[in-house]
Chain A
């Protein structure tokens, strides 16, 4: 079994990173026997090792403390059942396939736009996670300073993002960007799980936002949490046909929280889960503030050709239930 898993590692890693689970928040998923399973840890605590490898300004001990803090930040989200355990330092690199979950620095200068990456090895029969590794690209300048350091990326912020992936979360699209030479620059965002980092020197991404919190609650929420929270479900259509890959945002004016999801099927169906009960406004926009491949596999047909729009009804999310029938009709650009 494990040999089979190991042999399939390369393919699975790619597949796992991009297959969206057909559910609420964009979750990492994998297809097994024709079924899309969302990736999540069934065995807790998550035992992880840290590569005993330092870089300038960040020792392996500092990295380990930063990683522990990031795990704790996710585990501290109300209503989730999550735990982790530092198993020790290791000489093994984070990209080795050894059934161990390893996080550490790795020098990948050729990946000149990748600060960090998370990969999985999954049991192809059960869908269970066998291991998940995170590498932080030591080709960049890093900092573990409490307030950040000018010109250096904050390891705490990037660790929080990557450990979100390790828990099974996909990317959030709650952000605004502008195209610049060689890529995109973030203007603003409201999710640690947005695929593009803030500029070097800032520590703003050490704090989870409402969208991140909803995402982790959607995957690891306790039954008590699910009974006390609700969701919004509906469709996005254009000229009567479903819109796939649309970004749907729910905003609660009373709490100021923004939580988003995607239409993940050809009929334009979406669900936004783990919402506080209350009233919401719903807005839909095309997925045009990051590369589509940051969210979906290339084979996933994302419709970018429509205008942003608001839903014309206030949506009331019930406690423990779904506000369904939210039909958003958009017009072509």
Chain B
């Protein structure tokens, strides 16, 4: 009896497979050259330490070389949510170029510590308005035929503009990034969907002064509208 049931189930599964394949999502309007996509959403950007420097006095050469550290500072740009927008222009079913903009207001903090005269440690705070304008090349895996979930990979570079709070001072820098994510389309026309991605942005310049590229992790989600 049990053997008969298993056999029947296997038969059902075998018989069901073509029917499942027939229900597979087939988009009616795959992207072609000239297709545009607008993504609007939010992203969380990670923070980074952008420089640790001491406030140095020159040692009396009569008693030794080097510096006397009056206190130390560690400067950091904090993590923050950001507005994220992008416009994709498809070059083919698989490939698009993307222009993006991110706007955020991360905290700028300077931790003052190790004071030679025992001033209590203090983390001084301010904020930045940060603009990141990017250009990317995006590869769409499956080319729009893979189903509702469409993964993609991208890479590119950007221009960083940081405006210090209050003073109106602008520091500029640059970045390169790689990203990967998926789009989920609400319907087979692929007009409206969700986009989720994770990105690693390597930024230099701006308020940073340690001459290093800083690794900024980012993750976000956006509404995607293709037309």
Q: Which residues of A contact B (CB under 8 A)?
A: 174-176, 185-190, 198-202, 204, 209, 230, 249, 251, 253-254, 256, 258, 277-279, 281, 283, 285, 307-319, 321, 323
Q: Tell whether, in the assembled complex, residue A187 and residue B60 are in contact, meaning their CB atoms are under 8 Å apart.
A: yes
Q: Does B9 contact A (CB under 8 A)?
A: no
A150 to B214, CA, bound (A): 47
| B117 cross-chain contacts in A, Cβ below 8 A | 285, 308
| B209 cross-chain contacts in A, Cβ below 8 A | 253-254
Q: Tell whether, in the assembled complex, residue A323 and residue B166 are in contact, meaning their CB atoms are under 8 Å apart.
A: yes
Q: Tell whether, in the assembled complex, residue A176 and residue B70 are in contact, meaning their CB atoms are under 8 Å apart.
A: yes
Q: Tell whether, in the assembled complex, residue A318 and residue B166 are in contact, meaning their CB atoms are under 8 Å apart.
A: yes
Q: Tell whether, in the assembled complex, residue B62 and residue A279 are in contact, meaning their CB atoms are under 8 Å apart.
A: no
A230 to B168, CA, bound (A): 12
| B63 cross-chain contacts in A, Cβ below 8 A | 187, 199
Q: Tell whether, in the assembled complex, residue A281 and residue B67 are in contact, meaning their CB atoms are under 8 Å apart.
A: no
Q: Tell whether, in the assembled complex, residue B119 and residue A309 are in contact, meaning their CB atoms are under 8 Å apart.
A: yes
A314 to B111, CA, bound (A): 10
- Chain B residue with minimal CB distance to A174? B57
Chain B nearest CB, measured from A286 CB (Å): 9
Question: Known: A187-B68, A283-B71, A308-B119. Contact between A316 and B61, CB under 8 A?
Answer: no
Q: Tell whether, in the assembled complex, residue A256 and residue B126 are in contact, meaning their CB atoms are under 8 Å apart.
A: no
Q: What is the size category of the interface that chain B forms with chain A?
A: 35 or more
Q: Tell whether, in the assembled complex, residue A314 and residue B60 are in contact, meaning their CB atoms are under 8 Å apart.
A: no
| A230 cross-chain contacts in B, Cβ below 8 A | 167
Q: Tell whether, in the assembled complex, residue A313 and residue B164 are in contact, meaning their CB atoms are under 8 Å apart.
A: no
Q: Tell whether, in the assembled complex, residue B61 and residue A253 are in contact, meaning their CB atoms are under 8 Å apart.
A: no
Q: Tell whether, in the assembled complex, residue A310 and residue B57 are in contact, meaning their CB atoms are under 8 Å apart.
A: no
Contact of A199 among B56, B60, B166, B207 (CB under 8 A): B60
A-B contact pairs, 7 of them (CB 8 A): A176-B57, A189-B57, A204-B61, A256-B55, A310-B122, A314-B126, A323-B167
Q: Tell whether, in the assembled complex, residue B119 and residue A318 are in contact, meaning their CB atoms are under 8 Å apart.
A: no
Give residues of chain B (65-95) contacting chain A, Cβ–Cβ below 8 Å: 67-68, 70-71, 73, 75
Contact of B55 among A251, A279, A311, A323 (CB under 8 A): A251
Question: Known: A253-B110, A314-B124. Contact between A279 and B164, CB under 8 A?
Answer: yes
